[in-house]
Amino acid sequence: MNPESARGVPRREFVRTAVAIGGTAALAACLGREEPDLPNGPADGSSLPARQHAWNAALATDDHGNVVPPAHRVLLYLSYAGEGPPTRADRDAMERTLRTVERAYPRSHEGLLFSVSYSPAYFGRFEASLPDSVDLPEPRALSPFETPAFDRPDAVVHLASDYGSVVLAAEQALLGERDELNGVDVADSLRGVFERVDRRTGFVGAGLPAGHQDVEGIPDSEPVPEASPLFMGFQSGFTKNQASEDAVTIPTGPFAGGTTQQLSLLRLHLEQWYGQDSRYHRVATMFCPVHAEEGLVEGVGENLGDTSLMEERGCPAHTGEHARQYGVVGHSQKSARARRDGSPIILRRDFNSTDDGRASLHFLSLQRGIGDFVATREAMNGTDLASGAVGQRTNNGILQYVTVERRGNFLVPPRRLRSLPPATPAD
Ligand code: HEM
């Protein structure tokens, strides 16, 4: 018997479920399965990157050099406990807490990667507005066919690790629910500084979606391929189709070295996708009709290497023509129309979720300013393409299978400003 499944439920499925539940019992159960043996992080944080979002160098890479996203995620939505601008004492307590977490785990996919981000509502606590170098509007609906609710917590902490138990233990340490983390004493916490107002969880990586497809939004036939890192059955995040960390970094002003984060909750409706649509249709709507015609995508896309072959096959430039010729356009080809100097302008770090028993995607993207996300989303909307067989949502990429339920915008400051930053820090 495979030792992974010796206790009935395969380890990775068990861990994913524990992360979704959270709390002390889930962590204990998780530790029984994972047993991570990790060194501590650096005693002195000065060697850590100045950019909170500089994760790529700390991630594993696949055979083609694409970064492999950390498997387990928790998003903590936090409300500042005080009124008005934050106090110096709270800022210091928060920074001490984050440093403890950094001392406990190596900053890597096996250890812990995290970032702290702040909403426009948070910056509204200050008299002065954010500088013009930061493009952080309140969230709004971004297509004519969506009516999302808006998230306006003060802060969101994004926790990521290949070990579910690491993510859970870090969460508990942050919330003041444990006094030790990987052998490091935890003297401070965010308790009293923030209240947790929401908790969202997820996962990404081959096997995880297939192991958790027994949820609303996915047909009972268990169609999600074992090799797929995401519910929709294809690989994502090819190096050539992602913005670089440099490209999404705010270049000037007091928040230089930071980035902005768009975080939406997308519900997936994959009954027709898997139940009725052909593979041709799935490839055409996810990538491009040329990819479907010429059979460019094998399996989940493992043959593609480090590119989805958008520019290489001229797909973005021919989107309108394809709409007329094939009656269908691809999600990737449409989205790839939003580029700067030939490169994508958002860095996607999205992951799937089964929160509330429904198949979802937490779409987390980083970009220099929220305007870059809006431009990309408008390209993906393809409202300009709707004519004939291509409707506002049907045959128009993957829009028909996805509903945007919530949106939120955040600033991920550079590390030195990550703890309750003022709106106008000194340069
Ligand atoms: C269920 C939701 C989604 C799924 C399953 C999905 C999947 C994919 C896949 C498989 C690709 C092609 C492979 C790759 O280049 O990584 C891709 C490309 C892309 N997607 Fe999505 N995506 C989703 C939502 C979104 C959203 C909400 C946006 C933002 C507006 C977006 C923006 C992009 C961009 C910018 C590209 C790359 C285009 C380029 O080459 O420049 N995607 N997506």
pLDDT at 401 > cutoff 50: yes
- Greater confidence (29 vs 42) lies with 42
Confidence of residue 40 (pLDDT cuts 50, 70, 90): very high
Ligand 1, atom 25, residue with closest C-alpha: 363
pTM for the full predicted model: 0.96
The rounded Å distance from CA 175 to ligand 1 centre is 33
Please write the tens of the pLDDT for every residue from 127-151. Answer: 999 999 999 999 999 999 999 999 9
- Ligand 1 contacts CB of residue 309 (under 6 A): no
Mean of per-residue pLDDT scores for the chain:
95
- Ligand 1 contacts CB of residue 266 (under 6 A): yes
Confidence of residue 36 (pLDDT cuts 50, 70, 90): confident
Residues of the chain with pLDDT > 70: what percent?
A: 97
Ligand 1, atom 17, residue with closest C-alpha: 332
Look up residue 201 and give its two tokens. 């969880």
**Nearest to 117, CA basis, from 20, 198, 200, 52:** 52
Question: What is the rounded average pLDDT of the residues 174-181?
Answer: 97
The rounded Å distance from CA 186 to ligand 1 centre is 39
Count Cα neighbours of 143 within 13 Å in the Cβ-side half-sphere. Answer: 23
Question: What is the rounded average pLDDT of the residues 364-382?
Answer: 98
208 in Cβ contact with 229 (< 8 Å): yes
Q: How far is residue 27's CA from residue 8's CA, in Å, rounded to a whole number? A: 18
- Ligand 1 contacts CB of residue 376 (under 6 A): yes
The rounded Å distance from CA 160 to ligand 1 centre is 20
The rounded Å distance from CA 315 to ligand 1 centre is 14
Ligand 1, atom 35, residue with closest C-alpha: 335
Q: What is the pLDDT of residue 4?
A: 45
The label of the residue with tokens 């779409």 reads: 363
Give start and end residues of each alpha helix (H) in 144-227. 164-174, 208-211
pLDDT at 352 > cutoff 50: yes
**Nearest to 159, CA basis, from 130, 190, 128:** 190
Q: What is the dihedral of CA 27, 28, 29, 31, to 10 degrees?
A: 80
Mutating to test ligand 1, I would choose from 335, 345, 351, 360 the residue with most ligand atoms within 8 A of its C-beta, which is 335
Question: What is the rounded average pLDDT of the residues 156-174?
Answer: 97
Ligand 1, atom 29, residue with closest C-alpha: 377
Please write the tens of the pLDDT for every residue from 83-113. Answer: 999 999 999 999 999 999 999 999 999 999 9
Please write the tens of the pLDDT for every residue from 319-348. Answer: 999 999 999 999 999 999 999 999 999 999
With residue 347 as reference, give the H or E element that holds it: strand 347-348
The label of the residue with tokens 């509903």 reads: 403
Q: What is the pLDDT of residue 313?
A: 97
Ligand 1, atom 15, residue with closest C-alpha: 241
Confidence of residue 9 (pLDDT cuts 50, 70, 90): low
The rounded Å distance from CA 289 to ligand 1 centre is 16
**Residue 380: exposure state from Cβ atoms within 10 A (0-12, 13-18, ≥19):** buried
- Ligand 1 contacts CB of residue 377 (under 6 A): yes
Ligand 1, atom 39, residue with closest C-alpha: 336
Q: What is the pLDDT of residue 335?
A: 98
pLDDT at 247 > cutoff 80: yes
Amino acid (one-letter) located at 5: S
Q: What is the pLDDT of residue 427?
A: 67
